[in-house]
Structure 1
Amino acid sequence: MACQSVCVIMDEQALLGLNPNADARYRHRAMAYFEQLKESQDGWEVCAEALAKGIYNDDHVKFFCFQVLEHQIRFRHAGLSAVQQQLIRETLMKWLQIQLMNAEPEKPFIRNKAAQVFALTFVMEYLTLWPKFFFDILTLVGLNPRGVDVYLRTLMAIDGEVVDRDILHLPDEIRRNALIKDQMRERCIPTLVESWFQILQTYQQSHPEITCQCLEVVGAFVSWIDLNLIANDRFVNLLLSQMSVMELREEACDCLFEIINKGMDPADKIKLVESLCQVLQSAGFFNVEQEEDVDFLAKFSRLVNGMGQSLVLSWSKLSKNGNVKEAAEALQALESKVPLLLRLLIHEDDDISANIVGFCYEYLHVLKQLPQLTDQQKANLEAILLAVMKKLTYDDEYNFENEGEDEAMFVEYRKQLKMLLDRLAQVSPELLLEAVRRVFNNTMQSWQTASFMEVEVAVRLLYMLGEALPASHGAHFSGDTAKTSVLQDMMRTLVSCGVSSFQHSSVSLEFFETVSRYDKFFLVEPQHIPIVLMAFLDQRGLRHSSPKVRSRVAYLFSRFIKTLHKHMNAFIEDVLTRIQDLLELNPPENGFPALLTSDDQLFMFEAAGVLIVHGESPMERKTAMMTSLLQPLMDAFNVLLNKLSLERDEEKQNAIGDCLSHAVGFASRTSKAFSNKQTVKLSGCSEVYRGCLQTFLPALSVPLQKGSLRSAVRSFLHRMIICMEEEVLPFIPSASQHMLKDCEAKDLQEFIPLISQITAKFKSQVSPFLQQVFMPLVLSIFEVLGRPAEENDQAAALEKQMLRRSYFTFIQTVAGSGMNEVMANQGAENIERVVFTIIQGAVDFPDPIAQKSCFIILSKLVELWGGKDGMVGFPDFIYKHIVPACFLAPLKPSFDLSDAQTVLTLSECAITLKTIHLKRGLEFIQFLQQEYLPSLQVAPEISQELCQVLQQPDVKVLKNYIKAFFQRAKL
């Protein structure tokens, strides 16, 4: 009885909190009340009563009531009594009745929520309790516009719950939805279609918004109902008449698009498209040039695209099935749409053009499959090509210096046009090559008087040929003058006609992009290199007024140099002199804006390095040039490092720290020029890089700007290990000493790969050093891992996890590098301490990546020390700790055998057991059978089975068995 009294009236105080402007106290109370009503067995009934009787005028309260009702239907419907279910149905119908009589319609957000609740009720009850759902609603609303509005919104909500493919459904829901659609087709779809026709006919003048809603409903439902109910004369004529009504035509277009998109027999589809086209053409819709409404034309273009793609699909199916006559008719229908396609493709509005690209692309695919093209098809190809060339052109409004959303959309649109160009090249490479040649040559002859848009697109087309044309059609440079390709001619024109001086950033960029793309041209005609080099080096390129051009040119220059370094010998010193100011470190507070950013300068240093290292100068000259390139960096570094230690202002410290890091980065980048053939030693550059190491390494122990500086110097060391070979070894101990001082988890984690790299590369050469550094490094790791951290500090926990992984990887590298003595000479106590951490890593930390490393290490240690002549006391350790680890780790609840990474760990665990057997033989088998497995309560027959598998030579059998063994054990 107490509950019943709660449900008679609503908590008015709580309802005040529904107002968005209510204070926090009331809002919390409203939320608590919402939860109370949701969870109560019958608390929701008060909301039902409020809706059925129209008690509240406040929109937020009405919305709240629908929300409570929605929760009951979605999550608790099955638990409601028959009386309560009936109450929901009556509530909805009474609320709807109130809408028909109200002077003012409800707000759209309430109507949408109501429609959602109607749809949910329909989904739950249509198959069983409420088969007359639509009949009841249509009987009640008739043609009342308020009622029709709710009816149409409900249909769209039903589409969302039952049909919409973008919404994920559970298997049970999918089966239920299929049954609902079957029942609807059987019981009510013709009635619904008739209601749509009446609504469209009745309201197209008086209520265009309702008509648009109805068109949206038809479009949504047409995909799964009988098409003949919609694709008939009276319905299609009605839709076409609405194509001429300004407020309705966009929705009518979308509706026709959905009708055209419906899957059906190819012959029927062709008939439908052709009849629709005939009527649209007769009504004047094909005269797109006379249409000023671009929004409508964008929809119309999408409709034509749908019709075209439908015809292509029908042609493909008919051709595949060998229906020659019908396929020919489909092709004829397709060809007849090409003039309209071209008018839309060439339209000045890019949205309209973009919407037809799909049809155009597929039409070209059809032409590609034909054995021979007719004259008309060749003319169509040429027309498409000219349209694409025209549409690739920038317009006057494009903002090159501050690209926004419009510019981004045009860049995307250009990508679509490029796809068409590539497809054109597949259909007729000769046609494409000839057309581009004509446009390019005409433009280059008069580039001084042409607009930037014309010049840019001409060079752009030459650039795009590189990807579009297969090499067999001239997209290569033969070197044989008798076979000089069209492309070679165009490149010669590009570099010699002076267009690189054109005063627009888009043309400048396109010029350098193109000479870089076709850098192989200069291998065939190297006489053009000087003129292009000058363009790179002067105000056309690296000194251009636009920072965007300078930045991109720095990268392209580096690429150009790397490809053509063999042809640069005569220009090396001149180029280095000309770029000298671009290689200067930009110190903070110099007051001058730098021409290049530090990121751009990296490419300049790389290019300079390549020129020096790969040139044909004698070794002494290379040494001198590399010294003059790197010495200024070292000098500046020393000055700045001293300055950093005296600086107290944090902002200035950051600026100096960045500058120091850049200096190291630049020196590091020059080393990319070296290779196995051109080593540092052979190039005579050892001394200067040793100087760099001596200069940079002290920065490791500077407490200020520690993170960025350490990172830069560490990267430099990685490069030197690769390039300088054993010459770097004398610097490693002091570098390590610096890096192990005042370590954080991240420092250690980044230092370990360096030590691992040295270990893997130099092996026994670094054995004495490794023996010396091994325990200090391990102890530093232990110290950092042992530091207390906040319980909820996820970043710190992740850093420790990554450090632990790095530690295990390091031990794995040492154990696997054949330097047994590194660990063996650490003293029994230290060895034991390290090996216990490996056991701990294998068993105690739920991190399969680290666990896998641990089992690999244990395997290796068993192999090294577990034999008859192995380390004293190690066999005991195997039985006491390693064997238990192999069983305890997989038995842990956190060891997830459905996880791929964990399964890899289990494989290594199996290999460890196999290695123990190989080293200890029968003794190990007896230990398992007589001592260890019985202690785990493993049945004798299972124990015997495992031992038999262990003794088989094929380790794959063991891996599979072990997985099954632990799956069974965990049940």
Structure 2
Amino acid sequence: MEQQINQAVGIALSRDSEPGLKQQAIEFINQIKSTKDGYKSCVNILLTNGSAVNDEFKFFIFQVIDENLSSLSQEESYEIDQQLFSYVSQLIYSKKQDSSFIKNKTTEILSKVFCKNYMTINPNFLKNWLSFVKDNESSELAYDYYLRLMISIHEEIGDKLIMRNDFLNERNSYIKDKIRIDDMPALVESWYKILEISYTNYNETNMNNSLIVIGQYVNWMEISLFINKNYLELFNSILVNKLSNKVCSTIAEIVCKKMKPEKKFELLSLLNLSNVISNLDNSKLDLDFLENLAKLTNAVALEMCYIIENSANLTQDILNHLLNYWQLIFNFLSNDYDEISLQVFPFIQNYLTLSKKTPTLVIKELYENLLDRVILKMKFDSESFDLEDEEAVEEFQEFRGKLKFFQESIAGLLPDLYLNALPIIINKFVFEETNNSSWDSFELGLYELTSFNDSIKNNLINQPKSEIATSKPMGIISNFFFKLINELPINKFNHELNQLSLFEIIIKIYPNLNNELRSNLEFNSKILELFISNIGIFNPADKVKLRCWYLFFRFVKTIKPHLLSDEGFLSQFILNLNSDLLVIKAELPKKDDESELVESSNFNNQLYLFESIGSLISMFNISEESKLKLVDMLLQPIFNDLENLLKFKDKPEGQVPDQETQLVHLQIHHDLMAIGTFARGYHFESKNKYSVIIVQKFLNCCQIIIIILQSFDKILMVRESSRFAFARFIPILQDNIINELNKLVTVILSSNNLKTSELMEFVAFLNQIIHSYKDNENIYNLLNNLLTPLLNKVFEMIDSLHSITSTNEYPDLVRDKISLKKTLLTFVSTVITNHQTSLLITETNKLILPTLIDKIFGICYELDLDDPVLTRLAITQLINMATVFQDGHIKDKNDKFSSVNSIEGIDSYLISNSTRLVFELPFKLKELNAQNKYVLQELSLLMKTMQAENNNEGFINSLLSFLTENGISEEIKVGFCKNLVELDAKQFKKYFIAFVTELRR
């Protein structure tokens, strides 16, 4: 049998086994595991021949025992207990060294046997082991198994990171209680002896495992057993002489043990760790040990904060001790390795937070020391830091952000200290050491200037808000900023990080300057010169250059309009840009290291330049003719490019390589996006008025775009970019755009390959047109002609998605379906609220209105989409319709064409279907949760609106008839109608929810 099992295990584990044979072996193994005979055979093999069995076979035997433990009777459980004890005893007597993973598996099974037997079957389990270890006190192997067993028992009954069911939690609680009563003192004494012997003989494995055991069990055992003189002296000896990471963790576990503040203070005083740690020579310690030492120091200091927080009468005594630890904290904080510094951050943050509630902790000298060290720790290490490693830079910036939080906390606690220190640091690193300072010192100064500005702007020093702008600190910042722009040579910014810092500072500080400085033409010109220099938007480093394009855009948006008038400067600037940075070059997505297609970000950043130039030309205080010249300089290269691209429109399909075709379409898209973005920049203020020649220029842009669109009307990205550009032309062109707008709408709507997303964006574009031109007759006629085709297109797309309801199988399509319906409802809302409802009843569109209303009612009932917001939006549109329709006419006086047409029967149709909706929908809802109660509120408002907008008596009679037809009792229907008439909207909402809740029971 042994040979069969051994062979089967070998075949099952072998990669070279023939599949059929391997399957037979696995079936045989599973049979062994699941039968009592298999279990007994495996135990017998372990006991009779265990020392000769290979590791794989032995591991399998333990698996079989493990799987059968729960089904053993009490007698069998006791038997396996004794058998395993005997097996391990024989290993120890024969000094047989198993592999570590086999030892761990052995003690894992023993720990499960312990949990099963300790309470009733074998209450002497631990005593037997203690006696065995005592009898074999010279055997390191005995200690090894015993300690591994204690670790395994902890994992079974004490590890809080393992989730367990209620039964196991209760069982473990009983086991721990029994250990405390019967075995705890003896266990703790045994661990001390083993630790002492292992330390003396320097058996590192047993020493570390002893420390692990103590750290685990101290959490739920009597703490006094661990903090006697012998234990503490041994801990300190190991800490000093063996530099053990595990002893740091163990002491930390003891220190963090929950106890009353007074007892905790006694413990910390007894440990006196500050003296022990301070006597260690940090320069000779390895980094892992230093990091663990920092963790231990942090833990002790945090516990002192806990005492102060919970026992005010001990504050002064604790503070005296805590000051000793602060020197250790400072040493770890200042360590060259950030991972070591990080370990003391929790204490520093806790102390600063606690200081806000306990002024006694705010000690100026201590805070001065802390602020100095925090500031110096923020400095990049220029010698060892790899700035090409973006992840490392990002990690350091995150690390620096935590230090900045400490700095800001100090600012709030001791404003005078902060306000004195920061300007000195900034002045020293930015202005005083301009000739011989390294880039990292200069960068630190710039960073602190930014931080100083943030702290004053966010009022961390608690000034009256009205005085911040004119305060002395803000004056200091303004002076620093002025010197930074005017006095420092540009070659001082010779490092990428410093170049970026300069422009980030400009964006942060410039908006807060006083009007006098912001109105200074020479000063603004100087900033522009920095932006358009080789350290700014012409920077050779892509990382800096692309970021500067965005920051330049931000700066242009903050410049006070009409301050600039140097036409020559701007002309040369645009020429320089056109020759390099404004050249649009489409790039197809490329695969990254993970074979994912990634689009280049260059063009999106380039758009910031186009918008910035648009704003600059528009705000420059120069003649309109000069502005037109500048606009031509910028746009003409794009027009030329588009003209060249037109030649591809007539090429037969398939003649142009697919990749080239894609590139042509992408190039057109980029050109049109650039034109539209430039227009958005030109319209930098909503109150701007534009000259005839400028309007004509943008009208020419529209005409060019229409030509391109008509030539490439089947291309989605061309349609999208055309629509984008037109949306940006509308504020500038106003009524002048109408003819071209008509062409744009016609081309897009007639496209036979519209996607759902594009249709939704197109409808949103029309919403903008409706809002912008609600009083324009030409736009009204345009909308009148396209309304029915548009709605038919939306209905057709909704119907194509109708059968899709499973969010698990088709999440994107379900999302599209919901979004498209919301788009339709928003469009209806836009039409009605912008006084264009008459569009729905013109001769051109009146036939589509019943279908539209049916669709809205249908959406109300479509609960399988589980989107209460969609349902409410649909009901809201029914309310809007009930408000504007009366006797077949539009009663909106602001609708210019409300009296032209009418439609018969719409009132009665809305009333009958709305009444049915109000009494059917509540009982189709799965549950009356918070979201669905909002749906009920909307239904109640629909009912009140119907009652208010129609003939009261006639409507009530109609409602009573409906309720009678549907079998509603006389008492309920009379009560409902009475409340509907007498209660206001708010009261009726509450009534209606209660009414529905009662009827659903």
TM-score range (shorter-chain normalised) is 0.7 to 0.9
After TM superposition, the structure 1 = structure 2 runs for residues 253-272 of structure 1, keeping only pairs within 5 Å, are 253-272=248-267
Partner of 1:639: 644
Which residue of the partner structure matches residue 899 of structure 2?
none
1:212 partner letter: N
CA drift of 1:301 comes to 0.9
Letter in 2 for 1:852: R
**Which range moves more in the overlay, 837-846 or 958-967?**
958-967
Is residue 295 of structure 2 the alignment partner of residue 295 of structure 1? no
CA distance in 2, matches of 1:810, 1:705: 25
Deviations 1:126-159 (A, max 9, x none): 7787766655766677777667666656665666
Tell me the equivalent position of 1:413. Answer: 399
1:334 matched residue in structure 2: 322
User: 1:297 Cα deviation (Å)?
Assistant: 0.7
Aligned AA (1:261):
C
Contact (CA 8 Å) 1:562, 1:610: kept in 2 or not? yes
Say if 2:449 is the partner of 1:462. yes
The 1-side partners of 2:873 and 2:771 are apart by 16
Mark the CA change 1:600 to 1:314 in structure 2 (over 3 Å): closer, same or farther: same
Matched, 1:772 2:785: yes
Distance apart, 1:418 and its partner CA: 1.4
The offset of 1:780, in angstroms, is 1.5
Separation in 1, partners of 2:791, 2:128? 79
More off after superposition, 778-787 vs 547-556: 778-787
Counterparts of 2:916 and 2:57, CA distance in 1 = 65
Partners of 1:99 and 1:106 within 8 A in 2: no
1:109 Cα deviation after fit: 5.5
The CA deviation at 1:70 is 6.9
Q: Secondary structure at the match of 2:382?
A: coil
1:412, distance to aligned residue in structure 2 (A): 2.4
1:222 counterpart = 2:218: yes
Inter-CA distance 774–46: structure 2 relative to 1 (3 Å threshold): farther
Pair 1:800–1:70, CA change in 2 (3 A) = farther
Cα distance in 1 between the residues matched to 2:148 and 2:715: 62
The superposition leaves residues 876-916 of structure 1 with CA deviations (integer Å, 9 ceiling, x where unpaired) of 534664333334434336x4433x44443333233223333
Assess, with a 3 A threshold, how the Cα gap between structure 1 residues 540 and 746 changes in structure 2: closer, same or farther: closer
Equivalences for residues 789-804 of structure 1 within 5 A: 792-804=809-821
Q: Specify the alignment match of 2:674 in structure 1.
A: 666
* Deviation, structure 1 residue 266: 2.5
Judge which range, 15-24 or 197-206, deviates more. 15-24
Segment of structure 1 superposing worse, 797-806 or 849-858 = 797-806
> Hey, what does 1:237 align to over in structure 2?
233
Between 1:786-795 and 1:393-402, the stretch displaced more is: 786-795
1:823 aligns with 2:840: yes
1:874 paired with 2:864, answer no
Q: Is the 8 A contact 1:239 1:252 kept in 2?
A: yes
TM-superposed CA distance for 1:574, in Å, is: 0.9
2:731 is equivalent to residue 718 of structure 1: no
**Which of 463, 483, 486 does residue 493 from structure 1 map onto?**
483
Q: How much has 1:664 moved relative to structure 2? A: 2.7
Greater CA drift, 64-73 or 496-505? 64-73
Q: The residue matched to 1:846 in structure 2 has which SS?
A: helix
**Partners of 1:223 and 1:259 within 8 A in 2:** yes
Alpha carbons 1:52, 1:94 under 8 Å: kept: no
2-side partners of 1:510 and 1:238: how far apart? 53
- 1:585 — aligned with what? 583
Whether 1:733 and 2:720 are equivalent positions in the alignment is: no
2:500 match = 509
Deviations 1:889-946 (A, max 9, x none): 34336x4433x444433332332233334336455555555544764x6666555554
Q: What is the letter of the counterpart of residue 827 of structure 2?
A: F
Cα distance change, pair 250–854 in 1 and its aligned pair in 2 (3 A)? same
- Structure 1 pair 109/92, CA: closer, same or farther in 2 (3 Å)? farther
Would the aligned equivalents of 2:485 and 2:527 in 1 still touch at CA under 8 Å? Answer: yes
Residue 466 of structure 1: CA displacement?
A: 1.4
**Aligned equivalents of 1:838, 1:382: Cα separation in 2:** 68
Q: Distance in 2 between matches of 1:86 and 1:866?
A: 90
Alignment check: 8 A CA contact 1:66 1:117 kept: yes
Residue in structure 2 matching 1:346, options 334, 340, 354: 334
Equivalent in the alignment of 1:857: 877
Amino acid in structure 1 at the alignment position of 2:208: C
Structure 1 equivalent of residue 306 of structure 2: 313
Taking the aligned partners of 1:916 and 1:276, their CA distance within structure 2 comes to 80
Alignment of 1:272-671 (within 5 A): 272-278=267-273, 281=275, 283=276, 285-319=278-312, 323=313, 326-365=314-353, 377-397=363-383, 402-443=388-429, 444-469=431-456, 470=459, 485-502=475-492, 503-519=494-510, 520-521=512-513, 523-525=515-517, 526=520, 527-566=522-561, 568-571=563-566, 573-582=568-577, 583-587=581-585, 597-643=602-648, 646=651, 648-670=656-678, 671=680
Distance 1:110 1:748, change over 3 A: farther
Match of 1:745 in 2: 756
Instruction: Give the letter aligned to residue 309 of structure 1.
Output: L
AA matched with 1:508: Q
Q: 1:273 to 1:65 in 2, by over 3 A?
A: same
Aligned-pair CA distance for 1:302: 1.3
* Identical counterparts, % of pairs: 21
1:390 is paired with a residue whose SS is: helix
Quick check: 2:43–2:65 contact (8 Å CA) kept in 1? Answer: no
* 5+ residue gaps, structure 2: 589-599, 891-902
Q: How has the CA–CA distance of structure 1 residues 606 and 920 changed in structure 2, closer, same or farther, with 3 Å as cutoff?
A: same
TM-score (norm. length: structure 2): 0.81
Provide Cα deviations, 1:259-286, integer angstroms capped at 9, x if missing partner: 22233322332332233235x52x4644
Contact 2:9 2:56 in 1 (8 A): no
The answer to whether the 8 A contact 2:614-2:681 is kept is: yes
Task: Quote the RMSD (CA, aligned, Å).
Answer: 4.5
DSSP-derived class of the 2:622 partner? coil
Do the aligned partners of 1:288 and 1:297 also contact (CA within 8 Å) in 2? no
1:409-464 deviation digits (Å, cap 9, x = unpaired)? 32222222212221232233333343343344344334232222222222222222
Q: Which runs of 5+ in 1 are unaligned?
A: none
Structural mapping, 1:853-932, within 5 Å? 853-865=873-885, 871-878=903-910, 881-892=913-924, 895-898=926-929, 900-918=930-948, 919=950, 921=952, 925=956, 931-932=962-963
Question: Contact 2:784–2:845 (CA<8 Å) still a contact in 1?
Answer: no
Partner of residue 593, structure 2 = none
List aligned pairs for 1:42-53, cutoff 5 A: 46=38, 50=42, 53=45
Q: Which amino acid aligns with 1:613?
A: S
Judged with a 3 Å threshold, the aligned counterparts in structure 2 of structure 1 residues 820 and 228 are, in CA distance, closer, same or farther, namely same
With over 3 angstroms needed to count, the CA separation of the structure-2 counterparts of 1:218 and 1:601, relative to structure 1, is same
> Could you tell me which amino acid in structure 2 is paired with residue 681 of structure 1?
Y
1:692, 1:233 → 2: CA distance? 89
Q: How does 1:139-218 map to 2 (within 5 A)?
A: 185-186=180-181, 188-204=183-199, 205=201, 207-218=203-214
Q: Which moved more, 1:381-390 or 1:695-704?
A: 695-704
1:915–1:438 CA distance, 2 compared to 1 (3 A): closer
Shift of the 922–335 alpha-carbon distance from structure 1 to 2, 3 Å rule, reads same
CA gap of 1:580–1:963, structure 2 versus 1, over 3 A, is farther
What are the superposed Cα offsets for residues 135-184 of structure 1, whole Å, 9 maximum, x if unpaired? 57666777776676666566656666665555666777777766665565
